Amino acid sequence: MAVDTTEAAAASEAARQAMGGIGVSLARKEDARFIHGQGHYVDDVVLPGMLHMVIVRSPHAHARIKGIHSSAAMAIPGVVAVVTGELLAQHKLAWMPTLSGDTQAVLATDKVRFQGQEVACVIAETKYIAEDAAQLVTVDYEPLQAITTPQQAIAPGAIVIRDEKEGQTDNKIYHWEAGDKDATDAAFARAAKVVSLETFYPRCHPSPLETCGCVADLDPVTGNATIYMTSQAPHAHRTLFAIVAGLPEEKIRIISPDLGGGFGNKVPIYPGYVVATAASLLIGRPVKWIEDRTDNLISTGFARDYYMDGSVAIDENGKFIGLRVNLLSDNGAFFADAQPSKFKAGLFHIVTGSYDIPAAHIVANGAYTNKAPGGVAYRCSFRVTEASYFIERLVESAAVELGQDPVTTRLNNFIQPEAFPYKSASGFEYDSGNYPGAMKVALDMLGYDELRKEQAEKRAKGELMGIGVASFTEVVGAGKGKDYDIAGLRMFDSAELRVHPTGKAILKLGVKSQGQGHETTFAQIVAEELGIPASDVEVREGDTDNTPFGLGTYASRSTPVGGAATAVVARKLRDKGKIIAAHLFEADVADIEFAKGKYNVKGSPDNVKTIQDIAFAAYTNIPDGIEPGLEGVTYYDPPNMTFPFGTYLVVVDIDKGTGQVKVRRMVAVDDCGVRINPMIVEGQIHGGLTEGFGIAFMELITFDDEGNCIGSNFMDYLIPTAWETPRFELGETVTPSPHHPIGAKGVGESATVGSPAAYVNAVIDALSHLGITNIDMPITSDKVWAALRSKGVTE
């Protein structure tokens, strides 16, 4: 009997693996082309007659343009055109709207407002000729004073950067508040203790390994515009192109082929896309524009650049009773942040985090500076990273001031598992969570208590060791559409599923993978819901002519929204299958049951019709009065966001002599609800922990006083290699989202959101007994060394 049971279990497991439904670590379907070098990225697109475009950029951060001279460039054989802002202005294209309702220069006409701003474009027969000619375009500049911090920008008397905007008399962009000021003031008035923190989350850059670019192909005869483009949101981009360029939307086809990473960098529309498209229209030939790395780092969507200060009010029992946060954002020369239109500082108001804080008040102000525009969420859901970093750093400060273990401070203040759905003081309704549960798993994995003992022993010997704790909560998966939109487009998403007569399916989605493995994960949802093996489900994305309208992939929204749409459309087909099954069985629809791809009449479980039988019948033997085919489309508007969470623990050792920080351990326990493909989920977490590590210790875009960008190539903008990157230890808990059809939450960004605070808290934990309470990222050896020396610590 025992043998039979084992065999049955083995057979059942083999069937589960073959089906590849939810919970199976299926090897990725998309791998085949990539391991053969047959991925198809934008720069791999070659069209007959294709020209190449190179952008001439400003060397100054702030200057008046006195003249642009292109005759020497035009004289080079093979140069077809030099496009300037003046030419674009004739077509009303010198300026374009941004995702945040501001305007941005496509090519500068009056002034340049950041170093690297687009001034002219050279279009030539080859890229080499275009590069040569770009060197010969000369621009007369009259340099102006550069403003490089938001504090300078909002100081009285500061030079007005956006003087071309009617009514703009200073450098302020927005003022935004969330929460309840009066209730928060009252909480602080009765606080037994107030703990404050001032910190800066510096500018960094998503820098996907593939830079941004496009091939614009406008057919002068048909008027068809095909634009191959590095786009995380091809449908939204098509609509914006129609609005910006005045092109008829039905004639525009955006194809976002394989993307070499995105991380938010490929959400905005950049001037290069617009000029290449306009040039293709004017010249009548395809135009390719591909950024080099410096173009990418100095001009496209950066992230963060948030100055944050705030306080937590604590009562006599150590409970948090109020939270105040002020932030000042540096948005660069044009307010081009990618975020839902209602929220000027994205979803920063998630800053109450994992804690039950009854009152909160957030005040946010934004400023123009002479720096690149386009604040995007570098692997984060609209400023959730900054919020999570701030609260987790502030809780660390509170623990130090209370003389508590940071774990205790958190456990005392977590939102409790029975409190969900939980309404936060800043206006979110958290769907589900078990914060103490995730923390316990993490503490056990790390062996926390033993390490605290080791730390005490080391400290007694004068050695520096720290344990960092962070228990983040994210808000991901926008919308619902009523509350969240981008440029007016509501944030739903879509799935279209067709099962063919042979039982093989095509699933088309409005989201767009940049490496997340959608072709596998979404096929697994269909496998689970319909019982068609994942290997028989082909997933298509990124071509606006051939996929349903959706808002795209960013803010960890593909699984929460596109995944939900997939499950719902599969269920629609399943229900239609019941009607067909009833016809085949000559039974009543109400008596048809479905499980794991098989239909049967109640009471006759052994007489089944498979989903493949039903699919065939849908085209060959359909009951009267029923539409043929087995196909459907769902536009899914989520009822709420999802709220993934987790606890991250980091152990560091610090060399007193050099200030070098060595990450010894990194334990990450994530709860993203139901995991569709655990292998892919873990891969996402590995990547996010690494980007978080880079942000905490290495990655920095900064500027000198004249506005020169420091961090304009991979020799200055340091990205972790395998050598620096820690080994990660992953754990999980599973608290399903109650409103998501399969209980899943987003996960792609959790690790970048949650980990920087864990790394930094570990460093501060090693140093706080010396009176060191904050070091701003990136925590480089020299900063630690200086902090130690300032406290009189020497080797």
Partner 1 sequence: MKVTFEINGAEKSVDVEPRTLVVDLIRTKLGMTGTHIGCDTSNCGACTVLLDGRPVKSCTLLAPMLEGKKVTTVEGLAAGGKLDAIQVGFHAEHGLQCGFCTPGMMLVGKALIEANPHPTEDEIRWGISGNICRCTGYMNIVKAIQHAAAANAAENTAGVA
Q: Is 209 in the site for partner 1 (CB under 8 A)?
A: yes
- H helix or E strand, kind and range, residue 103: strand 103-105
Q: Is 261 in the site for partner 1 (CB under 8 A)?
A: yes
Q: Which of 104, 115, 152, 232 is catalytic?
A: 232
CB closer to partner 1, 481 vs 720:
720
Coil, strand or helix at 229? strand
The 40-59 contact track toward partner 1, x by CB under 8 A, reads xx-xx-x-------------
Distance of closest approach, residue 792 Cβ to partner 1, in angstroms: 36
Distance of closest approach, residue 544 Cβ to partner 1, in angstroms: 21
Q: Is 293 in the site for partner 1 (CB under 8 A)?
A: yes
The 680-699 contact track toward partner 1, x by CB under 8 A, reads x-xx--xxxxxx--------
Give the angle 479-414-691 at the CA atoms, nearest 5°: 60
Q: Which stretch binds partner 1 (CB under 8 A): 29-37, 147-155, 406-414, 480-488?
A: 29-37
Q: Which of 12, 17, 38, 138 binds partner 1 (CB under 8 A)?
A: 38
CB closer to partner 1, 3 vs 715:
715
Distance of closest approach, residue 431 Cβ to partner 1, in angstroms: 27
Q: Is 783 in the site for partner 1 (CB under 8 A)?
A: no
CB closer to partner 1, 305 vs 691:
691
CB closer to partner 1, 221 vs 715:
715
Full DSSP string of 398-422 = HHHHHT--HHHHHHHHBPPGGG-SE
Give the total residue count for the chain: 795
Q: Which of 8, 11, 14, 27 binds partner 1 (CB under 8 A)?
A: 27
Distance of closest approach, residue 50 Cβ to partner 1, in angstroms: 11
| Cα 671 from Cα 684, distance rounded (Å) | 13
Q: Which of 152, 207, 432, 768 binds partner 1 (CB under 8 A)?
A: 207
| Cα 291 from Cα 214, distance rounded (Å) | 9
For the chain, first and last CA: distance in Å? 69
Q: Which stretch binds partner 1 (CB under 8 A): 11-19, 115-123, 448-456, 508-516?
A: 508-516
CB closer to partner 1, 511 vs 787:
511
Distance of closest approach, residue 116 Cβ to partner 1, in angstroms: 15
- Considering Cα of 261, then 265, then 267, then 272, what sign does the dihedral take? negative
Full DSSP string of 304-347 = --EEEEEEEEE-TTS-EEEEEEEEEEE--SS----S-TT-TTTT
Distance of closest approach, residue 183 Cβ to partner 1, in angstroms: 42
CB closer to partner 1, 26 vs 476:
26
> Would you tell me how many other CB atoms lie within 10 Å of the CB of residue 249?
12
Number of residues that bind partner 1 (CB under 8 A): 56
Q: Which stretch binds partner 1 (CB under 8 A): 133-141, 247-255, 572-580, 710-718?
A: 710-718
Q: Which stretch binds partner 1 (CB under 8 A): 201-209, 353-361, 486-494, 643-651?
A: 201-209
Q: Is 553 in the site for partner 1 (CB under 8 A)?
A: no
Evaluate whether 30 touches 516 at the Cβ level (below 8 Å).
no
Six-digit token pair at 786? 């200086």
Distance of closest approach, residue 663 Cβ to partner 1, in angstroms: 13
Q: Which of 263, 289, 343, 759 binds partner 1 (CB under 8 A)?
A: 263
Q: Which of 13, 31, 249, 588 binds partner 1 (CB under 8 A)?
A: 31
CB closer to partner 1, 356 vs 691:
691
Coil, strand or helix at 504? coil
Coil, strand or helix at 534? helix
Q: Which of 162, 379, 498, 675 is catalytic?
A: 379
Distance of closest approach, residue 494 Cβ to partner 1, in angstroms: 23
Beta bridge partners of 709: 703
The CA distances from residue 138 to 64, 81, 133, 134, in Å, are 14, 15, 10, 9
Q: Is 39 in the site for partner 1 (CB under 8 A)?
A: yes
| Cα 757 from Cα 517, distance rounded (Å) | 28
Place of tokens 């030539």: 124
Q: β-pairing, 360-367 with 320-330?
A: parallel
- Which class for 655: exposed (0-12), middle (13-18), buried (19 or more C-beta within 10 A)? middle
Q: Which of 204, 212, 214, 380 is catalytic?
A: 380
| Cα 321 from Cα 551, distance rounded (Å) | 38
380 carries an active-site annotation: yes
Q: Which stretch binds partner 1 (CB under 8 A): 182-190, 380-388, 428-436, 719-727?
A: 719-727
Q: Is 670 in the site for partner 1 (CB under 8 A)?
A: no
Q: Which stretch binds partner 1 (CB under 8 A): 1-9, 512-520, 608-616, 756-764?
A: 512-520
Six-digit token pair at 304? 């963060």
Q: Which of 6, 18, 49, 128 binds partner 1 (CB under 8 A)?
A: 128
Residue closest to 554 by CA, chosen among 522, 516, 517, 509:
516
Q: Which stretch binds partner 1 (CB under 8 A): 8-16, 270-278, 290-298, 436-444?
A: 290-298
Q: Is 135 in the site for partner 1 (CB under 8 A)?
A: no
Residue closest to 231 by CA, chosen among 243, 218, 248, 214:
214
- Which class for 32: exposed (0-12), middle (13-18), buried (19 or more C-beta within 10 A)? exposed
Evaluate whether 454 touches 652 at the Cβ level (below 8 Å).
no
3-state secondary structure 544-612: CCCCCCCCCCCCCCHHHHHHHHHHHHHHHHHHHHHHHHHHHHCCCHHHEEEECCEEEECCCCCCEEEHH
Six-digit token pair at 194? 């107030």
Q: Is 302 in the site for partner 1 (CB under 8 A)?
A: no
The residues that are catalytic are 232, 379-380, 749
Q: Which residues bind partner 1 (CB under 8 A)?
A: 27-28, 30-41, 43-44, 46, 127-128, 207-211, 258-261, 263, 292-294, 514-517, 679-680, 682-683, 686-691, 713-715, 719, 721-723, 725, 727-728
